[in-house]
Homo-oligomer: A and B are copies of this chain.
Amino acid sequence: MSKNETPRDPNEVLEEYEETLDSVLAEVESPDETTEDDDLSLGLPGLSLGRRDFMKAGVAAGAMGSVAGCSALTGGGGSAGSQSTPSGSGASHTVEPGEHDEYYGFWSGGHSGELRVVGIPSMRELTRIPVFNTDCASGYGYTDGTQEMLEEGGGYSWGDNHHPNLSETDGDYDGEYLYVNDKANGRIARVNLTYFETDAITDVPNMQAIHGCTVLSPDTKYVLGNGEFRVPLPNDGTDVKNPDNYTSLFVAVDPESMETQWQVKVDGNLDIVDTGKEGRWAISSAYNSEEATDIQGMTKDDRDNVKAFDIPAIEQAVENGNYEEVNGIPVVDGTQDSPLNKGDRPIVKYIPTPKSPHCVEVGPNGDYAFIAGKLSPTVTMLDLDALADSSDPEEVVAGRPRVGLGPLHTTFDGNGHAYTSLFIDSQAVKWDIEAAVEAEEGSEDPIIEKQDVHYNPGHIQALEAMTTDPDGEWLVSLNKLSKDRFLPVGPIMPDNDQLIHIGQGEEEMELVADHPAYPEPHDCVFAHKDKIDAKKVYDKDDYEETYITEEDSGVERTGESSVHVKMTTKRSEYGLPDFTVQEGDEVTLTTTNIEGVQDIIHGVAIPEHDINYAVAPQDTREVTFTADDPGVYWIYCTFFCSALHLEMRSRMIVEPAEG
């Protein structure tokens, strides 16, 4: 283990930052390396400040982001930066027509609210899964069932999903579910991977922003979420101007019932979370130990504290009744001064790290948690075994290699290598895990290779890197900026997801492909195709709605102002060529696709009624609306299903109310 002084001399920490800043400024002071499109002065309002002031000021980060773009554009920035050599190598990501990809990639869609399924290595987007958004292509948010789920899940039309997680059994993906957070509204959603559709959304009480999200390995006992924003508890208008009483929570949600189980109150703002492989530790990065409310205050001190949640200890506290109930949820006190943290087995251990670290990823064998430094050019490695006995950095920090500027996330090839994304250097850096343990703190010795990416990477993921047995071969760098990498498409530019060949870790990294991404993927997770077993036709017993046969097709008046219309769909024909309702009727329309052939999907579009939804083979969907406007409306099929698709219609006649 390397030596760590805690707390370090603030001046020493600051020197480290200044060194970072020197590299940044060196770029800025070479004006011939800037391009016309990247007028850096606009991003650097702080240049007239002294360097220490500059680094301390919130605007500094603006400079860093801007310079990163510049650095990458001019090909410089990293001392060990390699030029990409995309042509002429052996690595090909081409998947020939008709052949299948080897891996599923599940991409979070950020504030698009959706998930995206991407084939690896082709990088083709296979489908989208609407989650927190509404989607008129599938009818998600248009049918009664999906509308009710979204309404019960908070009633929002968007969300901000960051971290997709596959359900695990024995530490490996079981292909059942995917769980993902909503940072905007403090929610967690579940996606059913048999049908590739969202089947549950939980609006977690007491939390405004769930950012980090993971499942508890090895058997998905919980879905765990980090509440990032500190708010009054409860946030009901009392104590709004007393930030000292704001709080940040950590939450456990049951993966089956999707009900919130318990929460833990902590100091500072929680960020990203990952768990060890044995069901005990959840490690969360955190920032703003100052508990300030503006960026200057949040970056005032030199240290922040990573939180290590001891899950069985928390469960014991809940069982012992050591909690306060808020909005029906047991909230356990895990702040530094809590009595629950003073005994032999504290429920949360606080481990000091350099200021404002970003991600936590636990390595494949569960030995170490890797905490990327963000503002520090290092990755802090925590020894999870040592955690059981201590939270003293001297004991638990196993290594702290110096990887480059702006480290955000780390991934693994399963052969002893870590790969860290460098936001400011715009690089992926490959390093040797054990060499980092043996090297001195802050040494660059473990660094093997750096690969330029374009530009400003966030998450970085290699195949099945979050399992106990990563597959290597390919790595994806999710870059936030694309700048001039693609044909211009107006001011809102795509992100750039880059595919890098890493083999089994013995070869050099090779940049193989750029792929534009609509805003804004944050993270992705990969599963070998054999681990997912998607159905191609619905099993009608899976759904509550009544399956409609052709004989059932008809109109039933269910009340003075309500009718139930039932109709089948099959190629070219709805079960009813027409039906009549009265102005003002509440119409419930139930539709069953009676076909058994895969890929024969029918749509039900009702013009001028803002209704459209898909009905896949053997599926039944229902929609309820009020027939407000008398007239003739041609319900038509929106999925091109047969040669006479265009002629496939049902005529809804809304008769005017009498008088």
Contacts and interface: CB of A to CB of B under 8 A. Distances in A.
A38 interface: yes
Interface string A173-190: 000000000011110000
Q: How many copies does the complex hold?
A: 2
A511 interface: yes
A240 B489 contact: no
A100 interface: yes
B295 A648 contact: yes
Contact of A136 (B111, B482, B601, B619): B111
Nearest to A613: B111
A208 B607 contact: yes
Interface string A633-659: 110101111111111110101111000
Given A209-B636, A642-B62, A655-B237, A39 B534 contact: no
A561 interface: no
A241 B579 CA distance: 11
A173 to B, nearest CB: 15
A595 interface: yes
A87 B98 contact: no
Given A112-B136, A288-B647, A295-B644, A489 B196 contact: yes
A511 B649 CA distance: 35
Given A571-B43, A630-B240, A519 B294 contact: no
Interface stretch (A125-133, A257-265, A362-370): A125-133
A167 B243 CA distance: 55
A424 B634 CA distance: 26
A400 interface: no
Contact of A160 (B59, B600, B605): B605
A265 B346 CA distance: 80
B486 A185 contact: no
Interface string A54-66: 0000111111111
Contacts of A113: 136-137
A276 to B, nearest CB: 24
B38 A293 contact: no
Nearest to A133: B136
A543 to B, nearest CB: 12
A229 interface: yes
A515 interface: yes
Contacts of A236: 630-631
A572 interface: yes
Contacts of A184: 605, 607-608, 612, 638
A513 interface: yes
A642 B480 CA distance: 9
A158 B136 contact: yes
Contacts of A617: 491
A299 interface: yes
A186 B158 CA distance: 27
Contact of A538 (B45, B111, B491, B619): B491
Contacts of A153: none
Interface in A151-201: 154-160, 183-186, 194-197
A536 B84 CA distance: 26
Interface in A271-303: 271, 287-288, 293-295, 298-299
A420 interface: no
B642 A39 contact: no
A240 B647 contact: no
A599 interface: yes
Interface string A421-438: 001100000000000000
Nearest to A619: B491
A235 B62 CA distance: 57
Nearest to A611: B158
A512 interface: yes
Contacts of A185: 607-608
B516 A126 contact: yes
Nearest to A102: B487
Contacts of A571: 43, 59, 61-63, 65-66
Contacts of A595: 42-43
A360 to B, nearest CB: 14
A97 B295 contact: no
Contacts of A208: 607-608, 632-634
Contacts of A489: 117, 126-127, 196, 534
B137 A518 contact: yes
Would you list the 10 A-B pairs with minimal beta carbon distance, nearest first? A237-B630, A61-B644, A62-B571, A65-B642, A196-B490, A136-B158, A491-B616, A237-B656, A112-B137, A294-B577
14 contacts: A65-B641, A97-B511, A98-B454, A112-B135, A126-B487, A137-B519, A158-B610, A184-B608, A196-B490, A208-B632, A237-B629, A241-B580, A299-B644, A490-B535
Given A124-B515, A196-B490, 11 more contacts: A39-B596, A62-B572, A111-B136, A127-B516, A134-B134, A156-B610, A238-B656, A480-B639, A492-B616, A519-B638, A522-B640
